[in-house]
Amino acid sequence: MSTSTAPTTSPAERRGPGRAELIALLAMGMALAALGIDLMLPAFADIRQAFDLPADATEVSGIVTTYFLGLALGQLAYGPLADRFGRKPTLYVGFAVYLVGALAGAFAPSLPLLLLSRFVWGLGSAGPRVVTLAVVRDSFEGERMSRAMSFIMAVFILVPIAAPTIGAAIVAVTTWRWIFGFCVAALLVMAVWALRLPETLAPEHRLELSPRRILSAGRFVVANRQTRAYTLAMTALYGSFTSYLGSSEIIIGDVFDAAGSFPVIFGGLAAVMGVGMLVNARIVEAVGARRLSHVLLLGYVACSAVFAGVALATGGTPPLWAYLLAMAPLLGCHALVIPNFNTIAMDPMGAVAGTASSVIGSVQIAVGALLGSLLDAAFDGTVRPLAIGFFGYGLLALALVLWAERGRLFRPLRPVEPVEEPQLAEVPQV
């Protein structure tokens, strides 16, 4: 059997939405996950007050961490389901779990129960994420896959631009619990829109749902040097990013005394990421996903080194403008690197796209959230832990990429080693 199961026609050429609508639909499905995070950030102060926590308590960062853990663990289940029953049914399972978690959070009487509901909410968000990656892999290959993923991520990243402002408006008018209601409403809109999503997994490519098959597919994923290394590199970069998400509210409010400007600052930096992904979508086919991502990774490490140096030189409290000048290029590089790393990691995985997307996503998010929580725990009232984390994790990502490429960067995206064909024969179909 071939290692690729990409159809000869794209979903845009079959019954259902056109290419632009398909990309927007997938992007907004993934954006439900971002909505569940970024909408909550302006409500942290109100949540502390509601549960009688000190104004500088970091326990509320668990709202982000538990959500990410659910998002990570949930993907391990959705991948095999998507490979057996199809992409669309799996998507609606995720929607249902998402709905339960959001509603439970709206009525949670204590912080522990709120954190539990956030974990369930994250489990639900994993469904759209896995399905999106699988549908993209079903429909595209190589640089075209990176271009499609960049458009999806660019639309997806627009959510953080507006979400904090929406969250702040909700909190200003009513209680923070209505934020959960807003997410429920967004979910219901997506559930109706997703009825137009075509099923991209052909019946002959559906895989058996059994422990043996799942383990075999998992081995197929982790045995590939390219997939393994780029997944771990994404994970390292994601560690810095999750810490940024979890600590941005307290950094802007406490370190820079600019809590009132948080939605604008956070949204502006998100806009930088959105622009970066749009740029990536425009140039990746001409430059190549591998070459472009390698250049950007080196830029990421250089920018993080400058950020760490400024943080240390200023005792961890640089001027706000210096912090923003450091974060903008870092987040811009992050936005361009991640879609390309996803493409490189998923490119050899056409035969088991659902399982591969779940393994890649769960490792990236679970371990990335853990790495981010280490930086959050080291918060000392300055930006030093975050700056050092960006630099250290960036170096780790660079080392992993060098290992994957055997020390040779900037090569074009190429077919993987032929070792995968015998492994794939162990993955039974139904």
The pLDDT tens digits for 95-132 are 999 999 999 998 999 889 999 999 999 999 989 888 88
* pLDDT on residue 422: 35
Question: Closest Cα to residue 376, out of 34, 53, 63, 11?
Answer: 63
The strand pairing partners of 429, in sequence order, are 207
Read off the pLDDT band of 142 (50, 70, 90). low
Task: Determine the pLDDT at residue 385.
Answer: 93
Q: Which two tokens stand for residue 356?
A: 């591969």
> What is the DSSP-derived secondary structure letter of residue 14?
S
Give 118's Cβ-side CA count (13 Å radius). Answer: 23
Identify the pLDDT of residue 234: 92
Integer Cα distance of 343 and 231 in angstroms: 10
The one-character DSSP state at 201 is S
Tokens standing for 318?
A: 């640089």
Cβ atoms 278, 405 nearer than 8 A: no
pLDDT-derived band of residue 8, with 50, 70 and 90 as boundaries? very low
Instruction: Output the 3-class SS for 166-191.
Output: HHHHHHHHCCCCHHHHHHHHHHHHHH
Amino acid at 3: T
CA atoms within 13 Å, Cβ hemisphere of 202: 17
Q: Tell which wins on pLDDT, 139 or 254.
A: 254
pLDDT at 218 exceeding the cut of 90: no
Phi, psi (deg, nearest 5) at residue 151: -60, -45
pLDDT tens digits along 154-184: 666 667 667 777 888 888 888 889 999 999 9
pTM of the model: 0.72
The answer to whether residue 423 scores a pLDDT higher than 70 is no
Torsion angles phi and psi, residue 207, rounded to 5: -105, 150
Alpha helix ranges (H) inside 251-288: 262-287
Q: Does the pLDDT of residue 399 top 90, yes or no?
A: yes
Kindly report, residue by residue over 30-77, the tens digit of the pLDDT. 888 778 877 887 888 888 888 878 877 777 878 877 887 888 888 888
* C-alpha to C-alpha distance for 162 and 114, rounded to whole angstroms: 24
> Is the per-residue pLDDT at 88 higher than 60?
yes
From the list 225, 224, 237, the residue with the least C-alpha distance to 365 is 237
Token pair for 412? 């074009």
Written as six digits, the tokens of 328 are: 């903008």
